[in-house]
Structure formats: C-alpha cells, structure tokens
Structure 1
Amino acid sequence: MNKAKVLVLGGLREEALDDLKQNCEVTMGPVGHRMDDDYEWVVDHIAGYDGLIAPKMTIDKKILDNAKNLKIISTYGVGFDHIDVDYAKQKGIVVSNCPKSVTRPTAELALAMILACARRLHFYDHSLREGAFLDVNEYDNQGFSIEGKTLGILGMGRIGQLVAQFGQMLGMNIIYHNRHQVATEIEDKVNAKYVDFDTLIKESDFLTIHLPATDETEHIIDSDVLKKMKSTAFLINVARGSLVDQMALVKALKTAEIAGAGLDVLENEPHIDEELAALDNVIMTPHVGSATHVARQNLTKEASENIISFFVNGKALNQVD
C-alpha cells in the first residue's frame, strides 16, 4: 500500500516527525523568514500531496484549487484563521488544529504579561537602558500589586481556564465571560464567577482575552469598550491581533483611559505601530505564545498525530470543520 504524501511547511522540528515519517512519505517544504514568502512555491507544488502541515501560511482558494489530491490540513497551533476552512470543507478537505500543545505555554505568557504590566517591567527596563536609575520611593515610579485584584477572562476555554488557575493561586478574584457558561465543576475549581460582557469590562483590573479570530470577534475590544474599562485596568492579548482595535488602543494608552497593555499579538503583524512602540505603558512580544522548545516539539507531534490518525485510522483528531 502506497504511503500518503505529506508536505510539511515552516521548519518544524524534524526530530519530532519520526512517527509521521514511519507512516507517511514526508517532504519538508521551504523555510522563509515569513511563511507567506513561500506562498507561490506552495501553489506550484501542492498538487502532488495528500496531507499538509501548515503553520501560519495563508491557505486560500488558489492553493486549495491547486491541491488536487489534498485530503487533510493540520495547523501548527490552535488558530486556523489563516485557512479558508469553509472552502476547504466544500472541497472535502479536512482541517484540524493543535489545541493541547499551546495551552500551557500561552497561559504562562498571559500570566507573564499580567505580572510584567503590574510591576511595570518595560518602564523600568527602558529607564535603566536610558541611564535613569529611578527613585522608586516616588509614587509615580511604583507598580501595582495583584493580590485581591479582579482578573477578567474573556473566553473560558482551555487557555482561559488555566490562566484562571494561575490567577487564583496569586490571590486574584476571577470573573469571566464566555459564549456559554462553563460547567459548575470548572467554575468551582478556580472559584470563577460568570458575568455578562459589560460587567466583565467594567470590573476587571486585568482583562485577558482568549478568543478565536472570527468575523464576530473582530475588534471586540474597540473604543467604546476601552472607555468602559477602569482607568487603572490593564488589557492582555495573547490570542489574535484582530480582536483589538489597535488605533483605539493606542489612543486609550496615550490618554490614560486605561493603565497599560500586554500584547503578544498585533493587528497588522509583522508591522509594528510606531506610536504603540513608543509607549512605556505597553509591553509587546512577537507572537511567542507557543515559542518554547518543549511546546514546539509537542506541537510538531500533535500536528503529526492529526495526519497519522486520518490516514491510518480514517478519522482526524481535533477536526475544526
């Protein structure tokens, strides 16, 4: 029996592809600095492959129309907004993602952002690099404690639940809003209270977002929402840049409508807004939620398991379409 042909993009960890190589015929694609740099190469070569592992490259109708034999796409992460899932479904192509491997590292980064914002790490680091050893006896140079503060979680999935656990361990009060209220046992585990969207926005001292990028969630945090937040509140986004109206956020940060922000994702990645970058009350990282050695190893294995399960067992794991 001929093995399925699988194209792997994005420079994944080859040492974690052993199981995939045993079950499928694997080709490693080009590795550009940005995934979409190799878009045309994929358009020209995708026709011969049955499976595809695609980290963040745009997989649109042009690629899907050229993918004459393609039966399954596995992302290299939990997000799949870079794939035209509806069109893939029309063509009978399964799309699956990797939710397990990104949960802990992304939740850890959200926690790191909360602590970095509260303790003003960017402000202190920036000041020292400019030669100013601040007098922290001055009120304006002091940070904020998080014990007893309210952690608001927008999106109570795997990542949101783990962030809630972290917040509970640090003595924070946990409130959340989700499309549907989660099970009582989950709420009890982290002592979380379900609230409506407006209450979440108004009461959170730290508002952290854990939603997928969809038409419904685009700019869910806009100028009106930012105006409702406490002037002492911090916004944390380790999900997708499109969830926040970045221009409105810049204005809110510059005018002290909110105290600060921690952003792992930007609206127009990889472009960095100059106004945003100039602010001392925002800390940014270049979309590194899953960027740990262990997480990337696990992601490669999870993406491989999606493909193997489909071709060996006839059913994809983590199917999203």
Structure 2
Amino acid sequence: MARYTVLTPDAQHDDDHRVEREVAGGDVDFIHYTTADASDIPDETWEKVDALLVWHVLPIDQRVLSRLKNCKIIVRCGVGFDHIDLATAGGAGIPVSNCPDYGTNEVADHAIAMMLTFTRGMTAYHRTMTADPTGNFHWKHGEPRRIRHKTFGVVGFGRIGTAALLRAKAFGMHIVGYDKYAPRGQEIALEIERVESLEEVLERADVLSIHTPLTEETRGMIDAAALKRMKSDAILINTARGPIVDTAALIDALRNNEIAAAGLDVLPVEPASMDDPLVKAFAEQPNWLKDRLILTPHAAFNSAAGRYDARANSTRTMMRYLETGELWNCVNGAFLKA
C-alpha cells in the first residue's frame, strides 16, 4: 500500500492531527504548521507533499502552487474557498475540494439565534439587567416583536440557507428566497416563495439572512443602494462571508435608521480591523447603536461536533481520492486539465 505525506499549513488545532490520523489510518505522515505565511514552510516540504489539508488562514495562491511538485489534491477543511486560486490549481492538474458536509446546522442555528436575539429584545434586557438587576427588573426595558407571519428573506438557499429557512418556517414565518443558481423547482420542494431579483427580497424581508459564497458577483452585494431598499424596521444577518456586506454603508444605514439592526458573524477583514467604521462604532457603542448591532468572531460554524466533522470529513475526501481516484466535492472542475 502506498504511503502518503500530507501537509496542513495553517492548522486550526494543536493536537498533531489526532482526528486526521484516526480517519486516515497508519499509512499517512502528517506535517503540521500553524502559519499564515507560506515562507515559514521549507520549499522541500511543499515539494514532497501528496496532499494539502488547508483551513482559511494561509492563501493558496500562485506562489504556493508553484512550489507543489507532487501534490495530488487540495482539500479545504471548511466550506469557503475564495482564498484558493482555483484556476491555477486546475491548470496544474490539482483538484480542489471543499467540505460542505459540516457546520450546516451550527451556522443555521447561529443565524436564527441572531434573529431571535433582536426580535425578543435580548440585548436590551441583558444590558439593562446587567446595569441594575433590581431596578431594571421590568419588561418595559425591551421591545420584542412578534415574528409569526413576518417575512424571512434568504439570499442563497443552498445547504445552509435551506437549513436556516426551514427553522424560520417553524416559527411561522413566510419565506421569500432569491438564488439565481438554485435549480428550478427547488422552491417547490421547500414550499417557499421564490423571487427573481435581489431587489425584491430586499424590499420584502423583515429579516434578511445572507447565505451565498463570496464571488466577484456577491462581493459588496449588500451596499448602500441595497440597504436603502430594505424596510426601516428590517434586520440584516450575515453568517456567510464578510466582504458580501459593505460595512461602511451598513453603519451609515444604522445611524440613519434605514434598517433596524444587524447581526454579523463575518467581517471584510478578520480579525476585526479598527479601520472599519462599523467595528469602530461597535467598540465605542454610541447611544444610537446600542442593542442594534451584534458581532461574533466568525464562530457560527463552531461546536465540538462541527470541528470534528470538518477535520474528519476533509480527511475522508482526501483519502478517497488518494486511494481510489474518486473525487468528492470538487470546486475547480472547470479549470482541471483533461
């Protein structure tokens, strides 16, 4: 049986591939780094590896790909792959796969949790009770709203968007979905209303939840013009990718009461940059922003079970290809050399 060498350049774990070794078996040598700089890894290491298991920290760009002399597959230990040069990898004959079969429930739950936090007035109740648990022990300090029969707008109803909208349906919400790439008829199976333009879902949503990948088409999609189309009492939620939302435009929209609230798990620059007007305002918490903005640190995917699935399922995808040639979840098939 062949023996393989696998590199994780930007590992998000510190247990020397415990899960990966368990899944792959004894015929794989794992090399472990936790860096965002490809130059921290010797050329000879890049050159000898049979596969990469990559996270989201180190860009897999042309400079990295040119150093791979023996690599047969790159597997992203997660869903998003906008930091990987798919065309260059494909031109070099290296398939790139992602791991769509993890974190779906966690991200959907996170989006709904953000919605409920706002609609039930949790931030105001928590803030006022923290300030004075006795004196502020009164329902008047929050402004919950009923969500039954309200419209949950979803931009992108793939796996995670579908999981989120099904949860919203359970609360009695009406679902309006926009996804130009979803197969026709998917909306029938989901029993949702499909609309044909982003503008329509923006205008109709009481809660708008973003579930699209980051592409040149979606980058900056929620900009000043998009926000002006939303209802003044609408809530925006983004658990997808940070650059989809123009955060400077968003903080202006909140300041000018063009929308009611926003929950973001992702930001254009991560970790958060104080150069971002939204992040700066969040840190300062002016009165006009209190209880209207939630930020979480790209953590929607996170649970012990979710982290295990990301590692185990990515390793299974890698080993399947190395051992049998069967390719799962390929995201650069259009660029692969025949």
**Taking structure 1 as the reference length, what is the TM-score of the superposition?**
0.91
Q: Distance in 2 between matches of 1:150 and 1:182?
A: 22
Aligned residues: 315
Shift of residue 86 of structure 1? Answer: 1.2
Q: Return the match for 1:306 from 301, 306, 317.
A: 317
One-letter identity of the residue aligned with 2:261 = G
Instruction: Select the residue among 272, 275, 278 that pairs with 2:281.
Output: 275
Paired residues of 1:42 and 1:63 also in contact (CA < 8 A): no
- The C-alpha deviation readout for 1:202-231, integer Å capped at 9, x for no partner, is 000000000001111101000000001000
Which residue of structure 2 aligns with residue 294 of structure 1?
305
Q: Deviations over 1:28-86 (max 9, x none)?
A: 4123xxx51x4322364322211010111211111111122112111111100111111
- The 5 A counterparts of 1:186-265 are 186-195=186-195, 196-265=197-266
- The Cα shift of 1:172 comes to 0.3
Give the CA deviation at 1:24.
4.2
Query: Does the Cα contact within 8 Å between 1:78 and 1:97 map onto a contact in 2?
Result: yes
* Offset, 1:183: 4.7
Gaps of 5+ in 2: 274-278, 333-338
CA distance in 2, matches of 1:210, 1:42: 34
Task: Please list the CA deviations of residues 102-148 of structure 1 after superposition, one character each: whole Å capped at 9, or x if unmatched.
Answer: 2111111111111112123233323333447547554x731222111
Query: For the structure 1 residues 248 and 220, does the alpha-carbon distance in structure 2 shift closer, same or farther, using more than 3 Å as the test?
Result: same
1:103 pairs with 2:104: yes
Instruction: Give the 3-state SS of the residue equivalent to 2:6 in structure 1.
Output: strand
Equivalents in 2 of 1:136, 1:223: separation in Å?
37
Amino acid across the alignment from 1:310: Y
- Note the C-alpha offset of 1:305: 1.0
Checking the alignment, whether the CA contact within 8 Å between 1:174 and 1:190 is kept in structure 2 is: no
Q: Distance in 2 between matches of 1:63 and 1:52?
A: 11
Q: Secondary structure at the match of 2:262?
A: strand
Return closer, same or farther for 1:118/1:318 CA change in 2, 3 Å cut-off.
Answer: same
Q: How many angstroms apart in 2 are the aligned matches of 1:24 and 1:53?
A: 16
Q: 2-side partners of 1:181 and 1:89: how far apart?
A: 25
Aligned identity (percent) is: 32
Alignment root-mean-square deviation, CA = 2.0
Cross-structure match for 1:317: 328
Whether contact under 8 Å (2:24, 2:316) holds in the other structure is no
Question: Which residue type is aligned with residue 84 of structure 2?
Answer: I
Point out the more displaced range, 239-248 or 308-317.
Answer: 308-317
- Contact 1:11 1:30 (C-alpha < 8 Å) held by counterparts: no
Is 1:50 matched with 2:53? no
* Distance verdict in 2 for CA 1:215–1:23, change over 3 Å: farther
Alignment partner of 1:155 is 2:139 = no
- In the alignment, structure 1 segments of 5+ residues that lack a partner are none
TM-score (norm 2): 0.87
Q: Go from structure 1 to structure 2 and tell me whether the alpha carbon gap of 1:194 and 1:293 turns closer, same or farther (over 3 Å shift).
A: same
Q: Displacement, 1:87?
A: 1.2
Contact 2:72 2:322 in 1 (8 A): no
**Contact kept? 1:156, 1:182, Cα under 8 Å:** no
